[in-house]
Chain A
Amino acid sequence: QKEVEQNSGPLSVPEGAIASLNCTYSDRGSQSFFWYRQYSGKSPELIMFIYSNGDKEDGRFTAQLNKASQYVSLLIRDSQPSDSATYLCAVADNYGQNFVFGPGTRLSVLP
């Protein structure tokens, strides 16, 4: 059974701080890694994807992947109250199949 684990939170950070969200996965064959943001009452929105070890930056977001340790993280710099949402980690295999979602981490950015 492939598993993706996340701390459910809530993770509370003050406005302007760095929010760090972590995710671990069980399947070593996983090749594609995604972060989705889901606002309350809305559907998930893809915000980052990463395929190679290391860091990938996009604006205030940085995804970090370490395949040897089987973890992927998302850093949000200069956190804003509008970043308050649930962040879902998703993992897929070599051909982008068999997406497995983590339970999500609820982030609260306090003004």
Chain B
Amino acid sequence: GAVVSQHPSRVICKSGTSVKIECRSLDFQATTMFWYRQFPKKSLMLMATSNEGSKATYEQGVEKDKFLINHASLTLSTLTVTSAQPEDSSFYICSAGTGGPNEKLFFGSGTQLSVL
């Protein structure tokens, strides 16, 4: 299957710092990427849809000023958690679609964020 790279895999930071997570599609171009968060033993929760060259679409209840998304190229989307707080600690996962009528979603390996 297609490869989606996500970096870093783990981040520990102090409250108030900003954390950037990168998501790259390595062997295909992705006009759309998705960002999720997941708490332990809970379902995936879609945070936002990242569209190349335009503003991201955020799900209800997700603060766009808190979670900044940039999708500047067809292979890279970034999620920046601004002024991170302990309640932002979670597993963040990106996915990218291969496009076309039989589009499939492939996931990055995830980023475990721990805010102290």
Contact = CB atoms under 8 A, between A and B. Distances in A.
Contact of A96 (B91, B95, B102, B106): B102
A46 B1 contact: yes
Contact of B107 (A32, A44, A49, A97): A44
Contact of B103 (A32, A45, A88): A32
Given A96-B97, A96-B101, A104 B106 contact: no
B100 A96 contact: yes
B109 interface: yes
A90 interface: yes
B13 to A, nearest CB: 19
A43 interface: yes
Query: Does more than half of chain B's interface fall in helix, strand or loop, or is it mixed?
Result: loop
Contacts, number: 54
Interface residues of B, number: 24
B110 A42 contact: yes
26 contacts: A32-B104, A41-B112, A42-B109, A43-B6, A44-B93, A44-B107, A45-B107, A46-B1, A46-B104, A49-B104, A51-B102, A90-B105, A94-B101, A95-B100, A95-B101, A96-B97, A96-B98, A96-B99, A96-B100, A96-B101, A96-B102, A96-B103, A96-B104, A97-B97, A99-B34, A99-B97
Interface of A: 32, 34, 36, 41-46, 49, 51, 88, 90, 92, 94-97, 99, 101, 103-104
Interface of B: 1, 6, 34, 43-44, 46, 91, 93, 95, 97-110, 112
Given A43-B93, A90-B105, 8 more contacts: A43-B6, A43-B109, A44-B44, A49-B104, A51-B102, A95-B100, A96-B97, A99-B97
